[in-house]
């Protein structure tokens, strides 16, 4: 298996036989974590709202998950359990922005959202909120 850029190719396989669920695994840090965990031997479920580019490893499975939805979590855990018997490693990388009715000072994309919040990568992908 090819190493990721900057990662040694002689990894230990310390996650062999483990199943990992990584929230926010569609891009950025979550995606890089998924790729590295697969290189270490894990079966990886990369969970996110949207699927990004194809993963480099067949050991990575995309899982649609809105971390703010309890019913999505129930379905996700049922799928992982059915396919791999459960989760050994959980990486909580996704986040939820909860601004109530306030909007970002840099755009209006969160205006009018309910107090429960909005998934950051869905509602405010290109914005910065400084609070």
Ranges of residues in the chain whose predicted pLDDT is under 70: 1-11, 96-131
Could you tell me which of 70, 51, 69, 71 has the C-alpha nearest to residue 61? 51
Range of the domain at 121: 95-131
Q: 51 and 113: one domain?
A: no
Number of H helices and E strands in the chain, helices first, is: 3, 6
pLDDT at position 113 is 40
pLDDT at position 42 is 96
pLDDT at position 7 is 54
Q: How far apart are CA 87 and CA 90, in angstroms?
A: 7
> How many domains does the chain divide into?
2
């Amino acid at each position: 298996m090819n190493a990721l850029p900057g990662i040694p190719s002689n990894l230990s396989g310390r996650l062999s036989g483990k199943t990992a669920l990584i929230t926010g695994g569609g891009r950025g840090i979550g995606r890089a974590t998924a790729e590295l965990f697969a290189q270490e031997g894990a079966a990886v479920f990369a969970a996110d709202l949207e699927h990004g580019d194809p993963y480099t490893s067949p050991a990575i499975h995309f899982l649609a998950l809105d971390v703010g939805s309890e019913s999505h979590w129930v379905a996700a855990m049922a799928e992982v359990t059915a396919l791999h018997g459960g989760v050994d490693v959980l990486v909580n990388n996704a986040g939820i922005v909860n601004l109530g009715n306030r909007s970002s000072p840099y755009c209006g994309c969160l205006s009018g959202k309910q107090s429960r919040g909005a998934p950051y990568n869905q509602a405010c992908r290109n914005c910065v909120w400084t609070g």
